[in-house]
Amino acid sequence: MGENILYVEESAGAREAGDLQSSWGWLARANLPHYSLMRLKLNYGAEFIRKFGFKTEPAEVAYGKDWLERDYTP
């Protein structure tokens, strides 16, 4: 849990500095809950999650291994 706080803080700092690539990169290191990963998919797409290397295990447990390939409507 402690590392997640560091990653979120670094992400916020990069965003405040105007570096969105680094901001997303830092956030991707955190262990996000399945519902946050789903929100990222719905807002930005599956390729975005792959590009930044988000840890998808929580979503795979909640939604199935193929959750990134399946279509969802909010």
Please write the tens of the pLDDT for every residue from 27-51: 999 999 999 999 999 999 999 999 9
Q: Angle at CA 65, nearest 5°, toward 61 and 68?
A: 110
Percent of the chain with pLDDT over 70: 97
What is d(CA 3, CA 44) in angstroms, rounded to the nearest whole number? 25
Q: What is the mean pLDDT of residues 4-15?
A: 96
pLDDT of residue 21: 97
CB-side neighbour CA atoms (13 Å) of 7: 14
Percent of the chain with pLDDT over 90: 91
Task: Answer yes or no: are the C-beta atoms of 32 and 54 closer than 8 Å.
Answer: yes
pLDDT of residue 2: 85
User: Does the structure show a pLDDT above 90 at 56?
Assistant: yes
